[in-house]
Amino acid sequence: MTLDEILALWDVDSTIDKTDLANESLKIPKLHHKYYSIFVRERLASLKASQSYDERRDLLDRWLAGDLDSETLKEHNLEIQRKMLTKAEREKRIDLLPEIATTKLKMALQREKVEVLESIIKTLATRGYQIKTAVDFMRWQSGGF
């Protein structure tokens, strides 16, 4: 899912119908399940993206260090490295590669989705209290206390 899709779903689901608080209270477990399911998928995608990034970065570092055999070079469409680079030089060159910048951006977006979903789940955890407070306030307004 995209971040916009998650936010659009939450825009609809975050609304509490003040005229039907009993049903709103009963919807909490279903909403929790819905967003926790999305959260788990997005967190796994985040972990996979991070692992893939680390593997690619390691491959590129070994490439720039001249530590790859000809089969691996061919498999990843890389040229033979003729110039020996220091670790700092390799790190700098890797950070300048467009594929690394793009991957970092995708990972940041994935982390953002996970953080948004964590926030939604925390909000759902307090929803019962919000509904109880609304009921208490309505009782107080009608003189029921």
pLDDT along the chain (145 residues), means of 10: 97 93 94 98 97 95 90 89 86 93 95 98 92 87 76
What is the Rg, in whole angstroms, of the alpha carbon atoms belonging to the chain?
A: 25
In this prediction, residue 145 carries a pLDDT of 61
* Strand locations in 70-136 (E): none
In this prediction, residue 142 carries a pLDDT of 84
Measured distance CA(8)–CA(28) in Å, rounded: 18
Q: Give Cα 112 distance to the centre of its chain.
A: 5
In this prediction, residue 108 carries a pLDDT of 96
Longest Cα–Cα distance in the chain: 85
In this prediction, residue 133 carries a pLDDT of 87
Q: Write the CB contacts of 58 (distance below 8 Å, at least 6 apart in sequence).
A: none
In this prediction, residue 137 carries a pLDDT of 87
pTM reported for the whole predicted model: 0.82
Measured distance CA(69)–CA(100) in Å, rounded: 22
In this prediction, residue 139 carries a pLDDT of 86
User: Closest by alpha carbon to 125, among 35, 46, 40, 37?
Assistant: 35
Q: Give the tokens for residue 13.
A: 């689901």
User: Closest by alpha carbon to 9, among 46, 38, 42?
Assistant: 38
Integer CA distances (angstroms), 27 to 21, 23, 30, 107, 110, in order: 10, 6, 5, 32, 27
> 49: how many CB neighbours lie within 10 A of its CB?
18
